[in-house]
Structure 1
């Protein structure tokens, strides 16, 4: 059997396996939906509503777990299946028969969510300890959290969850001063970003207070919704601000780790660097030239890095943008360039 035929066979096997893994729960949910709309449900609404609720939030997720037990699919993906079952129950069951579903929402769902978060934090702590014991790795919480979650959660959910956890971690948990290690560089001390973020948070606080009073005259509910949204926005900005203190730029193992808090980051292989220029002159930003700063042209720069090939700048909530030239601010830009030159020049000599 040639490689092409073997590859086609493997794809067919994987497709059949996925069809079974996801097809059986979907079929199960479909049967439950038909049962909820059948004449039997009208005759025995109380008994069937209990059974349908249990099947949607427990039996279907457990069946899914059994189906994925010998696969590489993270076990935590059973939680979204459970939530989907809960949402479907809210749709197919009459409102007067959702008593047990409401009990699940109030009592069980928070426990499940807390268990998942606790499991993630537990694994992150283990990963951080493992990283710290290996001098060739960096013990960066955000990076470690992403690596851990990719092995536990569906890929689509990783970045939003990691971002939310990191906001609270950097904003309210990790307050210990972080001393810069060798070949690490700060970028927040001489920039105006911290002042800008503090000003925005202050403005949000004032506007929230004023708008709450004005909006409450029309609708108390709307006033509190706006207030909580504003508070949440302020918490996020505070987490972004604090993360800039905790995630310095780093040079390690032939790679340049460029970070702007948890808002933007990119990793550059040293061999891919074409030139490094110390410059504060205005530069046109486009698809090839971007700023590391989340605030773009509002942030001053003093370093321009030009690459031999395109690279990816990763932003908030999984946004990805290509670049070939990156403009950034480094507090000690002269030392930063010297360290990079010391790393690059031996490589260039060896290549020659």
Structure 2
């Protein structure tokens, strides 16, 4: 495969000519790190084998897009061709522009020791090795198969970082920079202990589109901010898969009437409204969102929570108000509407640009314009 022109085109899309990351992107053969990947279909995921279709392989590997490499507990390397795999993505090769953005937020420079959290395909580690040198890069993942596969493929492309199999909170040393390619529910205290004086951490917060950057302070904590750009990664997992979806509660939410009222706002696809989604996730973490369309074209949405709370909302065709049904211990849709009212009143929500203060034990507080939230 003549991959270098494609990698150069990807560098032009994912970064810019004066960026220190231009050359790493242009000189990294991403296709060798992602030999197989999953593509979605109506019934599930089907594996694609790059060697069987080199043109499709090149097109996928050098597009600025995320390639799913694990669904449920099934790795793409081990998936049976032609067989549909059902489940949620549990590992991927993240779109290169987002990888570059996270590394840029790290303010990396030669001589710095980097911990790359969530090895995945090894692409972020490969870029870092080009800039910092192999000996300065440690990459970590909870999945032993992924770390073995990535180590071999990284070596094949000429990179030899220190590859570790461990939980995201188990740091194998002290680092000047910690950059996470997986979303964290909160900042582990171990990150503060494993961050060198004046070190910097970069991560996204699980269930949100928020990027947190923070620099270590002399007391062992860190201060920083929520960046104005947005990003979302898969959340950390302790086992081979994420907990099952709330299908039984979805059945309840689809059939029961619960408490009924009218909302003045039309149905919103919360997952596509990053500001609202992030604010809602900080206010009521753990909500599962589903959307649909009625037979008459009505817009439908469901909100489900592990505590048994649920909401179902419907906006009829041509209407701007919504019929809401709610049940369980909390009124999830009321929380959502309160956030939407705040946005209408102030023209924004305070999540992006918020100040971040992290104590040495990892307690993280976000604050802006009189609003605060603790992770």
Q: For this structure pair, what is the TM-score category when the shorter chain's length is used for normalisation?
A: under 0.3
TM-score of the two chains, using structure 2 as the length reference: 0.22
Q: Highest CA radius of gyration, 1 or 2?
A: 1
Structure with the higher helix share, 1 or 2:
1
Higher share in strand: 2
What TM-score do the two structures reach when normalised by structure 1?
A: 0.23
